[in-house]
């Protein structure tokens, strides 16, 4: 009886077990892994793709996909940063003559841009019944081009002290970005587990037609789902800009794949209807731990990319097996 109980616990917490085993193995080989500074480094590295994965979780559970996530991070981040440059940044000013503004203004603008772009994606998908893959793939090119036009292909730099504060550490230990990430995790967990909106997301992903018949306003919900995802991508854009007090128009290139991988590793199915915020966060940490561990082992970045790619393929294969067993 106890053996069966143990198997049930292990099965329901498989991703957590994998994360713990990875941490133990790397610590045995490289004890420096378990130091507070390195742990904060792992959490900090997981913030950007982790925030993106939070938004992507809602999209994937609903049966969608968002290939424009990385482009949205760069676009929203650059637009907000354009309003967050210091008065002394005359040489590299995106908006000529704009005075230095309080940080709350570029903060709100960044988040608003993310919501609007996400809502527009959701509108196109629901209004014209277009596959999310096609819409978001097209929007990737549109947003990357718009970002390059706006910035002239140059980084948006010389940002105000508000950005510096967001990219700093509390007591020189805990990054502010990690605190923001934790707050967003809590908010998204409540939304997906405790609200009607969250239940509707699962219903749409499980069977869209059945959800519509049961009273779920599917088109409106899809707009909200992609708008929420856009909000999370914009938050990631703020963190990217804050870390270096500048942001490049090519920022977050390929990050959407890491966000999708975090969701799938965490058990979210690309076919929709399954997934949780908790397991997505664990998936994001698994990828961050993997990269950090390979760095400590002296593995060069090219091989790290291959390793992450193999993890994605393995996670997708497991998902196919899970679905077939059902």
pLDDT tens readout for residues 242-272: 998 999 999 999 999 999 999 998 889 888 9
Is 300 inside a domain boundary? no
> Would you place residue 319 in the very low, low, confident or very high pLDDT band (cuts 50, 70, 90)?
low
Residues in the chain: 326
Is 48 in contact with 252 (CB distance < 8 Å)? yes
Is 106 inside a domain boundary? yes
In the chain, what percentage of residues exceed pLDDT 90? 76
Number of neighbouring beta carbons within 10 Å of residue 294: 17
Is 175 inside a domain boundary? yes
Q: Is the dihedral of CA 279, 268, 210, 232 positive or negative?
A: positive
Is 261 inside a domain boundary? no
Number of neighbouring beta carbons within 10 Å of residue 194: 10
pLDDT at 1: 46
Is 25 inside a domain boundary? no
> Residue 44 is encoded by which pair of tokens?
């900090």
Q: Into how many domains does the chain fold?
A: 1
Instruction: Say if residue 209 is exposed, middle or buried (CB neighbours under 10 Å; 0-12, 13-18, 19+).
Output: exposed
pLDDT at 4 over 70: no
Matching residue, tokens 């059945």: 210
Q: Which residues of 53-89 are buried (b: 16+ CB within 10 A; e: fewer)?
A: bbbbbbbbbbbbbbbbbbbbbbbbbbbbbbbbbbeeb
Task: Output the average pLDDT for the chain.
Answer: 91
Is 322 inside a domain boundary? no
Give backbone dihedrals phi and psi of 71, rounded to 5 degrees, phi first: -65, -35
How far is the C-alpha of 83 from the C-alpha of 90, rounded, in Å? 13
Is 279 inside a domain boundary? no
Number of neighbouring beta carbons within 10 Å of residue 323: 12
Q: Which domain holds residue 99?
A: 51-252
> Which DSSP string corresponds to 157-196?
--B-HHHHHHTSEETTTEEHHHHHHHHHHHHHHHHHHHSH
pLDDT at 18: 87
Is 28 inside a domain boundary? no
Residue range 44-65: average pLDDT?
97
Residue range 210-219: average pLDDT?
95
pLDDT at 309: 82
> Would you place residue 131 in the very low, low, confident or very high pLDDT band (cuts 50, 70, 90)?
very high
């Amino acid at each position: 009886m106890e053996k069966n109980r143990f198997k049930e616990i292990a099965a329901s917490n498989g991703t957590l077990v994998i994360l713990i085993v990875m941490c133990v193995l790397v610590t045995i080989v490289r004890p420096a892994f378990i130091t507070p500074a390195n742990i904060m480094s792992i959490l900090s590295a997981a913030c950007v793709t982790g925030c993106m994965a939070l938004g992507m979780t809602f999209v994937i559970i609903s049966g969608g996909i968002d290939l424009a996530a990385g482009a949205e991070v760069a676009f929203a981040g650059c637009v907000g940063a354009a309003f967050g440059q210091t008065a002394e940044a005359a040489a590299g000013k995106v908006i000529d003559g704009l005075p230095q503004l309080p940080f709350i203004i570029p903060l709100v603008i960044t988040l608003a841009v993310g919501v609007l772009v996400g809502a527009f994606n959701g509108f196109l998908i629901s209004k014209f019944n277009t596959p999310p893959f096609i819409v978001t793939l097209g929007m990737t090119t549109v947003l990357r081009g718009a970002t390059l036009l706006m910035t002239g292909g140059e980084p948006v730099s010389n940002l105000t002290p508000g950005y510096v504060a967001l990219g700093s550490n509390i007591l020189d230990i805990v990054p502010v970005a990690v605190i923001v990430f934790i707050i967003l995790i809590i908010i998204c967990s409540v939304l997906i587990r405790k609200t009607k909106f969250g239940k509707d997301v699962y219903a749409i992903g499980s069977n869209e037609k059945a959800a519509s018949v049961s009273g779920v306003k599917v088109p409106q919900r899809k707009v909200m789902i992609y708008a929420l995802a856009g909000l999370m991508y914009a938050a990631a854009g703020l963190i990217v800009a804050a870390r270096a007090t500048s942001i490049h128009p090519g920022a977050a290139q390929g990050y959407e794949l890491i966000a999708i991988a975090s969701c799938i590793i965490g058990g979210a199915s690309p076919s929709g209807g399954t997934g949780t915020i908790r397991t997505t966060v664990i998936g994001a940490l698994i990828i961050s731990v993997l990269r950090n561990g390979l760095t400590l082992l002296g593995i060069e970045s090219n091989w790290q990319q291959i390793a992450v790619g193999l993890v994605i393929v393995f996670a997708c294969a497991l998902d196919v097996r899970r679905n077939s067993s059902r």
